[in-house]
Amino acid sequence: MHAPPVPSLLIILIFLISFCAAADGTQLIVVNNCRETIWPGILGNAGHDTPSDGGFRLTFGQQVILNLPERWSGRIWARQGCCFDGDGKGSCQTGDCAGQLHCAGAGGAPPATLVEMTLGTSTNAKHYYDVSLVDGFNVPVSMIPVGVGVGCGVAACEEDLNACCPKNLAVICQGKVVGCKSACLATKDPKNCCTGEFAERKSCKPSTISHLFKVICPRAYSYPYDESTGLKSCRAPRYVITFCPPN
């Protein structure tokens, strides 16, 4: 899944763009550094709008700028192996959202690597964000602040977890591992999902696969109560989200 670094001209373009402030909000620069076309999906949480109708196509080396309003909350993920007709209907190997090019309020089918965020204001309230493997993994991704920021961290899973995914958790398409399920997704066991009698922090412990994810991707959420190392915060005006980031 790893690809050569983003072309130098694109890097220059990203940083030139980064000095153009988003009006009254936060700017996301979404970059595809994978060797294949991906289809990012976007979902606003309850009470929040979903930009770009929830999804779009992004070829290798392309980038899209999203200007999000203050206090926006939602998620973004990569869909891969998609095929859509002229009406935007079809399917994806991973991250599919109800068979639509524009997710328009539908979430992505797991396993999928999620970038989650709850934004503050452009003046003083912090932004909180993370890369989550709680619903499994499909594509490496990072979220990095750009410009002047306070108390900033990098959220990322930069390695290809598909390469070391246990066979019983692997999602295989045309002979290739395209996704890796989390223990919760694979077993539906409350103990692995932190539900039922295991819903509280004191009773919810990381599974063996969560430990594996954490060792390989220490800057990502590996299970529901992993905020001590998984959750990041910042007061930057813009962020770069890179699918298949160079590591």
Q: Which of 65, 78, 228, 76 is nearest to 146 (CA)?
A: 65
Distance of CA 31 to the CA centre of its chain: 12
Residues 220, 157: Cα–Cα separation, whole Å: 6
Give the number of other Cβ atoms within 10 Å of residue 79's Cβ.
Answer: 27
Q: Is the pLDDT assigned to residue 18 strictly greater than 70?
A: no
For the chain, how many residues are written? 247
What is the set of domains in the chain, with CATH numbers?
A: 8-157+219-243 (2.60.110.10)
- Which pTM value belongs to this model? 0.88
Q: Is the pLDDT assigned to residue 181 strictly greater than 60?
A: yes
Distance of CA 241 to the CA centre of its chain: 8
pLDDT 10s digits, 88-129: 999 999 999 999 999 989 999 999 999 999 999 767 678 999
Q: Is the pLDDT assigned to residue 225 strictly greater than 80?
A: yes
Stretch 37-49: mean pLDDT: 95
pLDDT 10s digits, 52-93: 999 999 999 999 999 999 999 999 999 999 999 999 999 999
Residues 163, 25: Cα–Cα separation, whole Å: 38
pLDDT > 70: percent of the chain: 89
